Structure 1
Amino acid sequence: MKKKMLAGILAAALVTASLVGCGGKDSTDTASGAKAETASQKAEETSAKAEEKTEAEPEAQTAEQVTLRLMAYNAEATRATYLKYLEEKFPNIKIEFEFVSQDNFDNILNTQLQAGEGPDIIEVGGQTKLLANAGYLLDLTDQGFISSYADAGLQPYTVDGKIYATPLQSWYEGIFYNKKIFRDNGLEVPKTWEEFIDLHKTLEEKGIKAQTMGAQSYEPMMKQSIALVNNMFYSTDESKGFDEKFNVGEGKLEEAWLPAVTEWYKIIEAGCLTPDMLGLSYDQALDEFATEKAAMWECGPWAVETLKEKNPDLDFGMFPIPGPDADKPGWLVGGPGSAFAVNAKSEHVQEALQILEATATQEAQQALVKDNAGSSFVIGVEVDLGDLYTDCDEAFKAGHVYAPWTAVWTNGNAVTEGYGKSLQEVLAGTKTVQEALADADAINDDLREAVGN
């Protein structure tokens, strides 16, 4: 049964992984500030370096319009202002935006890359290391714009000391809550996981649906449970070095995460998350929260504009997912979000590098966060997240934002997908949390063996 489950999850990852050996992950030093160069000097340096890496035409700007295909798993609406900025800045470069849902992204991308028909610019996350090791991504280490980024934003996209992608804004996910429902019922933002569960019971007793969840997707439960792991494991000294050990098979989730995920499971035992949610999609859950049929919904800033469009009068905020200690800020799931990489086989490498160089500017970063709130990893760029996230201030200040699968794990996407799908079985009552964690460990081990690590 386990092998049958693994087959579907491994399919996309092994397409890439089977082609390469296993590369280790090293951090790389970058300058702490932007170089004092003019824009024209940087452009010349970028073009010169690109010529060394490709046989593409040396002239980056030509009279003839060049079309760059950008494949992404975040919807175009979350990049609208940014894409408009690029359109105005580069009249000779047309960005053809291709959205592919997360569930199908790796399969479609890998198929295209193997066929030599991949996009010019690729939105990447947890699959970066596999793609880089397979030779699909352009090495960006020596590009001038790399020094504009803080090391923390580059680390997830660094393989063997080389940088293969540049981060967009950070991402984070917490609990959206309806402030009016809370005020009308004398409720406060919970400070502990126990208070969070009791809050559900109080709301349900008043005839109000407490939390909606689109558990048709594996992601919500996966992320919510990892928020408890953040609170109970990653906030302790015990976790130091664990993710690096997990990458080489020396650390096991079944052992390290079990106490925290068992604590998270209490929300299922209490009937706050129910099997019928497995039939609810992301859009349906969003609609329930937007139309005030549910008091809480776990999600992130990418949903804000849609919520406001559906209900302009919706009064809502976000709070971090709390842990066992009321004296400590809760945690958000997140960190460096997705990033942009350049297809090493692109016929328009120089133009793609121009886009990445422009993305490292304050103007582009502000354009990015306008449609999808988050902090910037470009040094010196400050972002005001607004009142919507006031309840998250202490968590942000404490640095309580983490997602191990995007920050460190080599096989992050495949492991979290398998783990999340096993949690769906936990909600259905056919699997235990310990079995779900064991499934995740098995996926990691199988992928490591597949690439010869």
Structure 2
Amino acid sequence: MNKKWMPLLLAFAMPMVMVAGCSKSNQTENATASSDQGTKTEGQVSIRIMGYNSEASRATYLKMLQEKLPNIKVEFQFVALDNFNNVLNTQLQAGEGPDIIELGGEARLLAKAGYLMDLTSESFVSKYADAGLTPYSVEGKVYATPLQSWYEGIFYNKKIFNDNGIQIPKNFDQFIEIQKDLAAKGIKPQTMGAQSWEPMMKQSIGLVNNDYYSNPSNKGFDEKFNKGEASLAETWEPYVENWSRMIKEGILKPDMLGLSYDQALDEFATGKAAMWESGPWAVSTILEKSPDFELGMFPIPGSNEGPGWLVGGPGSAFAINANTKHKAEALQILELTATPEAQQALIKDNAGSSFLKGVDVDLGEIYADAKEAFKAGNVYAPWTAAWDSGNPIVEAYGKSLQEVLAGTKTVKQALEDADQVNQTMRDSLK
């Protein structure tokens, strides 16, 4: 790929926030900060890590690096997500940049442009499950290794459910009926910060996961979609139409378009709504607002009974700058990261599961109702796992779903909008 396209492509690549599983605290940061992990001593090599997850979410891990790798002085640079690509792109085009880069959906674009080191032959790569490596692979070569996963399901207020005799829904019809019953009792069934385009995008894809991706015969769709040989409008429409009953039944309302993430979180945490879709990064805030909150999460149910699906996958990954002057030391960090101790350190400050083989993470009682979904491996987000230009595609789709909620577009038009972005990005990459 011609590098002159990188400013355009990266402008699309990562305006995403919780798409990559980032904590809400990082969504509102606008500053750029750098922190040295200790004082550099004689003989140490400085390695700069640039990330869009804050230092607080990496604290235990960074401390471990300093203890285990005394030959390296880690300089951690946090750059707020809304400015991350601008800073990174400027540095990379100048032949500079950090030694290690935290990446999300833009990994394939950077790899194709020659900015990332090929890690395929490194021994630590084989320690990760394929599901964690796929989003960071191009034509069979691996360019980054995953950190902890992210996932979203339906948080629910156990007290409201118990007080009203409600069971966890086993299929999508039950999910709809539960919400209609709660509404009839004067209880807001679900809150949603639809001021952001992400929640409807994710929840609708949760149903697509259940009803489309779970069918083995559809396994090749994402590859065809990348090549322009398949479209969302022709393939996903019946599943998204089914999900849109949430709008038609008045469960998701147009006034939610004025509701922010923080306002939706507050509604749920203070007992004003029975359900809210989000992920583990929100738990601490919920419990800070309501220490006695009885919190649970269940997966998004499908049309047929089953374990359900969560939306998620690798949250972000570490890649090595192809132009680093300290290749050996950067590889040491990635090699150490591919150990159970490092994975547990990452998870301690930023909840998630691990893609390192053999690492077992106890997610706790909150996620007990999603246990079967996790056990079945029912966690997927096609835009991060498989699509070449995933982030701009789902942004277009999500924004068009906002128009569906407002009553100015149809589901088919929303999917066609996403298909058009896919075609535009494919044309740009030629």
**Which residues of 2 match residues 60-79 of structure 1 at below 5 A?**
63=42, 66-79=45-58
Where do residues 101-140 of structure 1 align in structure 2 (5 Å cutoff)? Answer: 101=81, 104-140=83-119
Greater CA deviation, 79-88 or 393-402?
79-88
CA distance in 1, matches of 2:186, 2:67: 51
Matched AA of 1:345 = N
Cα 1:122–1:77, aligned 2, differ >3 Å: closer, same or farther?
A: same
Alignment pair present for 1:95 and 2:72:
no
Pick from 382, 390, 411: which aligns with 1:412? 390
The equivalent of 1:400 in structure 2 is 378
Cα distance change of structure 1 residues 12 and 79 upon mapping to structure 2, 3 Å threshold: farther
Matched, 1:387 2:365: yes
Deviations 1:223-246 (A, max 9, x none): 101001111111123412111000
SS state at 2:274 partner:
strand
| Paired residues of 1:196 and 1:322 also in contact (CA < 8 A) | yes
What letter corresponds to residue 122 of structure 1 in structure 2? Answer: I
Matched, 1:242 2:221: yes
- Give the CA deviation at 1:410: 0.8
1:334 to 287, 300, 312: 312
- Output the amino acid matched with 1:86: L
Cα shift at 1:173? 0.8
Superposed displacement of residue 254, structure 1: 0.4
Q: How many Å separate the matches in 1 of 2:383 and 2:226?
A: 10
Distance verdict in 2 for CA 1:429–1:80, change over 3 Å: farther
Corresponding residue number in structure 1 for 2:271: 292
1:145 aligns with 2:124: yes
- Give the CA deviation at 1:263: 0.6
How far 1:331 moved relative to its partner? Answer: 0.9
Give the residue type in structure 2 aligned to 1:289: F
Say whether the 8 Å CA contact 1:170–1:375 is kept in structure 2: yes
**1:160 aligned partner:** 139
Q: Which whole-Å CA distance do the structure 2 matches of 1:259 and 1:167 have between them? A: 33
TM-score of the aligned structures, taking structure 2 as reference length: 0.86
How many aligned positions are there?
398
Task: Read off the aligned partner of 2:210 and give its amino acid letter.
Answer: N
Report the residue type matching 1:100 in the other structure. A
The yes-or-no answer on 1:426 pairing with 2:404 is yes
Residue in 1 that maps onto 2:200? 221
- Aligned counterpart, 2:340: 362
Q: 1:275 to 1:349 in 2, by over 3 A?
A: farther
Output the CA distance in 2 between the equivalents of 1:104 and 1:196. 39
| Contact 2:400-2:409 within 8 A present in 1 as well | yes
CA contact (8 A) 1:317 1:388 kept: yes
- The 1:16–1:421 alpha-carbon spacing in structure 2 relative to 1, beyond 3 Å, is closer
Closer, same or farther in 2 for the Cα pair 1:161/1:382, shift >3 Å?
same
Question: 1:177 maps to what in 2?
Answer: 156
User: Which of 292, 301, 325 is equivalent to 1:313?
Assistant: 292
> 2:413 pairs with 435, 440, 445, which one?
435
Structure 1 contact 332–401 (Cα < 8 Å) conserved = yes
Residues 12, 391 of structure 2: 8 Å contact kept: no
Q: Residues 98-157 of structure 1, C-alpha deviation per residue, up to 9 Å, x if partnerless?
A: 1423x5544443344224453332222221111100111111122232232223322221
Preserved CA contact (<8 Å) 2:154 2:299: yes
Paired residue type of 2:248: E
Q: Which runs of 5+ in 1 are unaligned?
A: 1-9, 18-60
Gaps of 5+ in 2: 1-5, 14-39
Cα RMSD, aligned residues only = 2.3
CA drift of 1:64 comes to 5.6
Q: How many Å separate the matches in 2 of 1:219 and 1:346?
A: 35
| Paired residues of 2:270 and 2:289 also in contact (CA < 8 A) | yes
- 1:261 partner letter: V
Partner of 2:31: none
- In 1, are the aligned partners of 2:53 and 2:78 still within 8 Å (CA)? no
C-alpha separation in 1, matches of 2:285 and 2:56: 10
Aligned amino acid, residue 422 of structure 1: S
Letter in 2 for 1:293: K
Does the Cα contact within 8 Å between 2:51 and 2:76 map onto a contact in 1?
A: no
Structure 1 residue 346 corresponds to structure 2 residue 324: yes
| In structure 2, distance between residues paired with 1:377 and 1:267 | 33
